[in-house]
């Protein structure tokens, strides 16, 4: 901007300049190579290296400076006990929905920084009525952040950027600050292998030099409570929880697959068992010893009255066709097939299930004799001697006549 502005920036405005540099290191703007065609080779090489480096986070519109965080009062007229953050970053498109940034030129003590983080905690816990009348955290009425997953709702993360300008060692300051803020950021250990940060503040620290060199994609961020450096997205997140959730989903899918396989095996075994039991009940032809087919088995089944509805229920189809017809020795004529029990014959009588045989001579009844001796409904037979064939019945009458004269 000019010599006066440069002098003010280097001497009297070191903190705002550090804030601006922090924005540049996180934003990582890409130079236009086409406009550097006339620059020296080393400048073009530096510009090309910047173009090839990993992208930054958000756009220039994603950053706000000097934003009040009122623990009391309103957004426009904050009361006592609140804080004022150096930077607010909102870049949900890059995985950072909300990030508060504090820049320290290594002039403040760990106790002073811890006091400022206590004010952050007061602000995060403050609730107000939203436009729909619902009580919500005050910061959610200004910034849109997804709700915490499952059973935790952590507070927004806070990034501490140490600029090695003052006399204090940032490593010692960070070590002391880790102990002073334990109650604000320490999560609850779960047996699944991760921490729950419900109601806790993720606190991350980085130096401006490392951030300028590697950017937000570099492993230059230390999450308080962890023992290794991480990229920004991993530092503000919960990678162990993500891995545990992935394992739980895989285990649930595997258990569901095993359950479905078990149910399928049980169904198959039950089907095989039923088929074996049915096969054991399948009738066998008394003529040739062959098993009945399904169609023949169904045809030979007994009716509701307990009588077969087939003339030869114990024979298969082939043996049934080969079976000789029964001939009455008395009538010397082929007997008709017996009607099925339950059906009414041509003369409205119910025949016996099998053709009667004379108890005297052993001859099968003729059709006429069978009709004459058959019962009507549930009444007795109208014939005097229904157990005798026609010839024996006539001889019995002649013998009576001769006996009684």
Q: Which of 212-221, 328-337, 367-376 has the lowest mean pLDDT?
A: 328-337
Whether the CB-CB separation of 164 and 170 falls below 8 Å is answered with: yes
Specify the residue for token string 């009122």: 70
- In angstroms, rounded to a whole number, what is the distance separating the alpha carbons of residues 156 and 150? 17
From the list 332, 401, 327, 399, the residue with the least C-alpha distance to 360 is 399
Whether the CB-CB separation of 188 and 195 falls below 8 Å is answered with: yes
Whether the CB-CB separation of 238 and 194 falls below 8 Å is answered with: yes
302 bridge partner residues = 308
Question: What is the residue-averaged pLDDT of the chain?
Answer: 84
What DSSP designation does 357 have? B
357 bridge partner residues = 364
Strands 221-223 and 188-190: unpaired
Query: Does 96 or 321 have the greater pLDDT score?
Result: 96
Span 144-189, pLDDT tens digits: 888 766 667 889 999 999 999 989 999 999 999 999 999 999 988 8
65 bridge partner residues = 87
From the list 378, 385, 379, 375, the residue with the least C-alpha distance to 351 is 375
- Provide the residue ranges of all domains of the chain, joining segments of one domain with +: 3-237, 282-323, 339-405
From the list 383, 329, 335, 339, the residue with the least C-alpha distance to 361 is 329
Is 80 exceeded by the pLDDT of residue 379? no
What DSSP letter does each residue of 202-219 carry, written as one string?
A: -EEEEEHHHHHHH-TTSS
Share of the chain above pLDDT 90, in %: 44
The CA-based angle 85-89-94, given to 5 degrees, is 160
Span 265-285, pLDDT tens digits: 999 999 999 999 988 888 999
- In angstroms, rounded to a whole number, what is the distance separating the alpha carbons of residues 23 and 47? 18
- In angstroms, rounded to a whole number, what is the distance separating the alpha carbons of residues 137 and 69? 12
Query: Does 211 or 381 have the greater pLDDT score?
Result: 211
């Amino acid at each position: 901007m000019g010599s006066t502005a440069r002098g003010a920036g280097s001497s009297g405005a070191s903190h705002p300049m550090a804030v601006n540099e922090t924005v540049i290191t996180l934003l990582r703007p890409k130079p236009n190579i086409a406009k550097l065609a006339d620059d020296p080779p080393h400048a073009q090489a530096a510009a090309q290296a910047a173009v090839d480096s990993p992208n930054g986070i958000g756009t220039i519109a994603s950053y706000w400076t000097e934003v009040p965080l009122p623990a009391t009062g309103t957004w426009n007229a904050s009361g006592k006990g609140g804080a004022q953050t150096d930077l607010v970053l909102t870049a949900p498109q890059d995985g950072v929905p909300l990030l508060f940034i504090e820049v320290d030129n290594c002039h403040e003590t760990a106790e002073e920084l811890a006091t400022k983080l206590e004010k952050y905690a007061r602000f995060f816990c403050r609730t107000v009525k939203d436009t729909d009348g619902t009580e919500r955290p005050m910061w959610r009425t200004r910034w849109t952040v997804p709700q915490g997953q499952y059973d935790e709702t952590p507070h927004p993360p806070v990034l501490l950027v140490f600029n090695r300008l003052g006399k204090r060692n940032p490593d010692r300051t960070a070590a002391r600050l880790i102990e002073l803020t334990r109650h604000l950021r320490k999560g609850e250990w779960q047996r699944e292998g991760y921490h729950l940060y419900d109601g806790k503040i993720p606190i991350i620290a980085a130096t401006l030099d490392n951030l300028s060199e590697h950017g937000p994609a570099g492993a230059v961020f230390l999450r308080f409570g962890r023992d290794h450096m991480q990229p920004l997205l991993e530092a503000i997140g919960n990678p162990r929880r993500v891995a545990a959730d992935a394992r739980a989903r895989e285990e649930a899918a595997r258990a569901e697959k095993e359950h479905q396989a078990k149910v399928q095996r049980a169904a198959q075994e039950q089907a095989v068992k039923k088929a074996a039991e049915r096969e054991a009940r399948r009738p066998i032809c008394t003529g040739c010893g062959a098993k009945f087919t399904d169609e023949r088995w169904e045809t030979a089944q007994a009716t509701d009255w307990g009588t077969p509805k087939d003339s030869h229920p114990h024979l298969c189809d082939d043996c049934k066709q080969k079976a000789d017809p029964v001939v009455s020795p008395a009538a010397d004529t082929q007997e008709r097939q017996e009607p099925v029990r339950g059906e009414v014959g041509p003369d409205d009588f119910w025949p016996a299930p099998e053709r009667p045989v004379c108890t005297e001579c052993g001859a099968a009844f003729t059709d006429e004799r069978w009709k004459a001796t058959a019962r009507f409904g549930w009444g007795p037979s109208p014939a005097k001697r229904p157990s005798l064939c026609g010839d024996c019945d006539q001889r019995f009458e002649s013998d009576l006549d001769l006996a009684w004269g």
